[in-house]
Amino acid sequence: METQKKRIRKKAQVEEESCVACGCCVKVCPMDAIHVVLGTMAKVDDNKCIGCGKCAKECPASIIIIREAAL
C-alpha cells in the first residue's frame, strides 16, 4: 500500500496591526526570516521561516502565532 506523505510545515504569522515594531523578534530569529518593514510592523519571510517559535516567545505583545501549513 502506498503511504501518503503529508508534510506539515510550521510558519510564524504576525498580527500586523498590533505590532509595535520593537524588533525583539528580529533579534532572536536564527534564520533571518522576520524583519520590521517601514518601521511599523514585522513581516515573516515564509521561505526562510522554520517555525521554531523563538520570535513568538520573545514578542512582548504576544502577537506572533505559529501556524501549521500542510504542503
Nearer to ligand SF4, 4 or 59 (CB): 59
Residues between 1 and 20 that touch ligand SF4 (CB under 6 A): 12, 14, 19-20
Distances (CA, A) of 9 to 1, 46, 57, 71: 25, 10, 18, 7
CA 58 from chain center: how many Å? 11
| Residue with grid cell 530569529, as numbered in its chain | 29
Binding-site member from 5, 8, 25, 39 for ligand SF4 (CB under 6 A):
25
Task: Name the site residues for ligand SF4 (rule: CB under 6 A).
Answer: 12, 14, 19-25, 28-29, 31, 33-34, 36, 42, 44, 49-55, 58-59, 61, 63-64
